[in-house]
Amino acid sequence: MAKTGVFDSDPTVMAKATELKKELRKLVRTIVDDEDYPIEIIDQAKETLSALKELKIKKRSLSPKLREILLRPPEEFKCPLSKELMKDPVILATGETYDRPFIQKWLKGGNRTCPLTQQVLSHTYLTPNHLIRQMISQWCRSQGLELQDPVHYVNEEGITEADRDHFLSLLEKMSLTIPEQKEAAKELRLLTKRMPSFRALFGESLDAIPQLLNPLSTSKSTSEIHPDLQEDLITTLLNLSIHDNNKKLVAETPVVIPLLMEALRSGTIETRTNAAAALFTLSALDSNKALIGKSGALKPLIDLLDEGNPLAMKDAASAIFTLCFIHENKARAVRDGAVKVIVKKIMSGVLVDELLAILAILSSHQRAVEDMGELETVPCLLRIIRESTCERSKENCIAILHTICLYDRTNWKAVREEECAHETISKLARDGTSRAMRKATGILERLNRAINLTHTA
């Protein structure tokens, strides 16, 4: 922050003070150097000191408003965002200059446009504007102000200029020989895992992610892709997607989702697992859910779940679950065979709690109910309610049953027989979670109405 000096407002006052100081200096020198100086010299020195004192008192009596007017900096020295004198001016990609802390706050808020021109930024590197900084310093000196030197820049993410240079050198290697690509990919995977600052660096340029994925996007066929290189690059994408400010940028980079889908189909099991995990992480944003669903990524995720590898199934299930929060993706998942795969896994006792949560979401789709009817899902759901100790699983089961009974009356017989034999639904209506109690009560009411209608007939 700029600091006020001794004489820092009116140039006339500054000139007068300078004149008095010169006079005082001459008088003091006479007193010190001349043994026979006249006694009047002391009186003159006192008068000069008194005049300086009065000038100082007069200076301090200036109103804050007048001082503000006298010290108002030129408009070109003010930050367009803060409207204050810039202390650390930097140049944005569009050529506009801002004070570093204020433009950093703008960019950290997820904005990728120039505040003044509204142009989309090709990158978010900030270049020091040494010329403006020098001009501001000169103006401050002329006003008797002191402009503090900016400290060596390290931002909130801990990024230094050395980090940035190393980062750019690693990206450049992605266009070189395969051994250099593999070496750089391995290092980027480790750096983005251990250091959040390197995840943030990818958000500074629209070209960074395409550069990272260059070895995969330029390969003519999957057979040309080196498995370990693919694994390192896909895992780096996963690391990047963890950073909240990167989620939108990563998903909207055109090459990303197709390459993740390719990795789901053809990578090593670790590559496929990490590709599924990346899609799950990216799908935290609703706009990304729609984008991923439209791309066709649900089908390879369902296929990965169907294959049953323990390492991959949980990540695939998590991605499917999150993606199906939007209606369009429910329809896509049902169309791509999700119900059959999920019911088969549940009947086999695999990931029962997780897959019931997905099935509960899908059950609002008419075709999903039809698929569950064909697969004889109702007895399985009733058995889980009867035997499970997981309240959430019971809740999801009864919610699914409630929807099935609403759409398909042919299943009422199985539910009625279960109720007569074990009072499974009645117990849940008394002891379940609040949602489970509502759904169970709804089913019992329907059963009673059906029985009453039958007796009346």
Do 189 and 283 reside in the same domain of the chain? Answer: yes
Residue range 267-284: average pLDDT?
Answer: 95
Residues in CB range of 442: below 8 A, 6 or more apart: 402
- The last residue of one of the domains, among 61, 81, 98, is 61
Do 303 and 261 reside in the same domain of the chain? Answer: yes
Kindly report, residue by residue over 120-154, the tens digit of the pLDDT.
888 777 888 888 888 888 888 777 666 666 644 44
Do 204 and 112 reside in the same domain of the chain? Answer: no
Answer yes or no: is 29 within a domain. yes
Answer yes or no: is 344 within a domain. no
| pLDDT winner (highest mean) among 88-102, 237-251, 323-337, 395-409 | 323-337
Question: CB of 381 within 8 A of CB of 417?
Answer: no
Do 195 and 275 reside in the same domain of the chain? Answer: yes
Question: CB of 346 within 8 A of CB of 306?
Answer: no
Do 121 and 244 reside in the same domain of the chain? Answer: no
Per-residue 3-state assignment (H helix, E strand, C coil) for the chain: CCEECCCCCCHHHHHHHHHHHHHHHHHHHHHHHCCCCCCHHHHHHHHHHHHHHHHHHHHHCCCHHHHHHHCCCCHHHECCCCCCECCCEEECCCCCEEEHHHHHHHHHCCCCECCCCCCECCECCCEECHHHHHHHHHHHHHCCEECCCCCCCCCCCCCCHHHHHHHHHHHHHHHCCHHHHHHHHHHHHHHHHHCHHHHHHHHHECCHHHHHCHHHHCCCCHHHCCHHHHHHHHHHHHHHHHCHHHHHHHHHCCCHHHHHHHHHHHCCHHHHHHHHHHHHHHCCCHHHHHHHHHHCCHHHHHHHHHHCCHHHHHHHHHHHHHHCCCHHHHHHHHHCCHHHHHHHHHHCCCCHHHHHHHHHHHCCCHHHHHHHHHCCHHHHHHHHHHHCCCHHHHHHHHHHHHHHHHHCHHHHHHHHHHHHHHCHHHHHHHHCCHHHHHHHHHHHHHHHHHHHHHHHC
Please state at what angle helix 286-295 crosses helix 327-335, rounded to 10 degrees.
30
- The last residue of one of the domains, among 310, 336, 362, is 336
**Tokens representing residue 8 in the block:** 């820092």
pLDDT at residue 227 in the model: 93
Do 107 and 207 reside in the same domain of the chain? Answer: no
Among residues of the chain, what percentage have pLDDT more than 90?
51
pLDDT at residue 7 in the model: 39
Q: Residue 193: which CATH number?
A: 1.25.10.10
6: pLDDT confidence band, cut at 50, 70 and 90? very low
**Tokens representing residue 142 in the block:** 């002329």
Question: CB of 351 within 8 A of CB of 345?
Answer: yes
**Tokens representing residue 455 in the block:** 């007796």
Please state at what angle helix 227-242 crosses helix 269-282, rounded to 10 degrees.
20
384: pLDDT confidence band, cut at 50, 70 and 90? very high
Answer yes or no: is 233 within a domain. yes
Let me know if 124 is exposed, middle or buried by CB neighbors in 10 A (0-12, 13-18, 19+).
Answer: buried
Residue range 192-215: average pLDDT?
Answer: 88
- The last residue of one of the domains, among 313, 336, 359, is 336
Answer yes or no: is 409 within a domain. no
Answer yes or no: is 294 within a domain. yes
Distance CA 103, CA 125 (A): 11
**Average per-residue pLDDT for the chain:** 85
pLDDT at residue 65 in the model: 46
Answer yes or no: is 135 within a domain. yes
83: region left, alpha or beta (phi > 0 left; psi from -120 to 50 alpha) = left
Answer yes or no: is 373 within a domain. no
Distance CA 191, CA 95 (A): 31
**Full domain range(s) for residue 45:** 13-61
Answer yes or no: is 39 within a domain. yes
Question: CB of 20 within 8 A of CB of 53?
Answer: no
Do 319 and 237 reside in the same domain of the chain? Answer: yes
Strands 89-91 and 97-99, sheet pairing? antiparallel
Among residues of the chain, what percentage have pLDDT more than 70?
87
Q: Residue 132: which CATH number?
A: 3.30.40.10
Kindly report, residue by residue over 327-359, the tens digit of the pLDDT.
999 999 999 999 999 999 999 999 999 999 999
pLDDT at residue 157 in the model: 52
| pLDDT winner (highest mean) among 1-15, 40-54, 341-355 | 341-355
Do 249 and 195 reside in the same domain of the chain? Answer: yes
Question: CB of 100 within 8 A of CB of 82?
Answer: no
Distance CA 10, CA 99 (A): 27
**Tokens representing residue 237 in the block:** 């994408």
Tell me how many domains the chain contains. 3
Residue 361 has pLDDT above 80, yes or no: yes
Distance CA 18, CA 16 (A): 5
Task: Look at the alpha carbons of 408, 333, 425, 344 in this order and tell me if their dihedral is positive or negative.
Answer: positive
Do 57 and 84 reside in the same domain of the chain? Answer: no
Residue 11 has pLDDT above 70, yes or no: no
Do 170 and 270 reside in the same domain of the chain? Answer: yes
Chain centroid offset of residue 404 CA? 39
Q: What is the pTM of this model?
A: 0.68
Do 296 and 169 reside in the same domain of the chain? Answer: yes
Do 210 and 238 reside in the same domain of the chain? Answer: yes
